[in-house]
Amino acid sequence: MAKKIRILSLDGGGIRGIITCVILKYIEEQLQKLDHPNAKIGDYFDLIAGSSTGGLLASIILFPDNTKKAKFSVQEALDLYAKKGDDIFNVKFWEHLVNPFGLFNEKISEKNIEKQLAEIFGDLELKDFIKPCLITSYDIRERRAKLFASHEAKAPLENFYVKDVCRATSAAPTYFEPARIKSFYNQEFTLIDGGVYANNPALCAYAEARKIAFSKVLNNDKKVDYPSVNDMIIVSIGTGTVLKPYLFKDFENAGKIKWISPLIDILLSSNAETVDYNLQKMFETLGPRNRQNYHRLMPSLKNASPEMDDTSKKNIYELIQAGLAFVEQNQDELNTIAKKIIRNH
């Protein structure tokens, strides 16, 4: 019997990726209870997509051990976020003085994130991921999307260092400078955060899955090649709902500078919502049984800050609490997801 293609999609959101880790940790714990005590979530999905912080998480999850299985558990990913988040997002006091609010230069020095990415990923290459991935970025020189796909990285033209892929997908405008990276074919790219067009990369993941011969790529003859929506299970995880209202009176005569921050907020949330709407409608065409194979998990931020770079101990605590609250309120759905992905392992 053919096995469905299991797709995991992870939204962008900076340090709010901690919420994603908490949700994934619970799912991984269910895999360990129901299937194998050492189960790691990277071994249970056939394609993992990520934008920005989601791209970093996807890269950690797909990091290979010596046997080409997942090296890191979700707990280890969560520990990395909690430990290194402050190093990545730290803005020195003098930088605040010469660059208040990121108006004159990027808000955060790229040196911190590049140092941390080098420590985590070393010289790991995209082609060495344990499963297919789709990590988003945008080429501002060529003005087109740049999608990193590990299953296409056997050729030097599409192969990159993972640390460079992560630098590119997380180069959020106003936070970090654009990433200048080279492929193994020596082609140079100037890239920014893929969240500018796909903060929720689930629809990109669907489109990518349609062109993959999974039985060959995964060496599993029970997997469907070039799957349709009917052959997929999609689990899409957001980093917290941000619904800050903007009033007419506040923007009646607003200029460009006043619109910058609200516009980024609106663009990030609205493109995520549009992707969710499209996928819901696609799965609704399948009938009552298979329509339930699309899961959009979007937690409330509760008391956590919506800011993507708030790495205070209090906010990290609140992000973890927001994730735990979502898990507590959605145990049935999360347990169902775990059973589905085991059944299609």
Give catalytic residues, as residue numbers: 52, 193
Instruction: Say if residues 52 and 309 touch (Cβ distance below 8 Å).
Output: no
DSSP state of 70: B
DSSP state of 127: G
Of the candidates 78, 177, 75, 184, which has an alpha carbon nearest to the alpha carbon of residue 124? Answer: 184
Task: Compute the distance between CA of residue 339 and CA of residue 22 in angstroms, rounded to an integer.
Answer: 18
Helix axes 53-61, 74-89, angle to 10 degrees: 140
Distances (CA, A) of 143 to 3, 139, 259: 38, 5, 23
DSSP per-residue string spanning 146-191 = EEE-GGGTTSGGG--BHHHHHHHHT--TTTSPPEEEE-TT--EEEE
Task: Compute the distance between CA of residue 205 and CA of residue 150 in angstroms, rounded to an integer.
Answer: 13
Helix H segments across the chain?
Answer: 17-34, 53-61, 74-89, 93-98, 110-121, 162-169, 195-198, 202-209, 214-217, 248-251, 256-284, 313-329, 331-343
DSSP state of 132: -
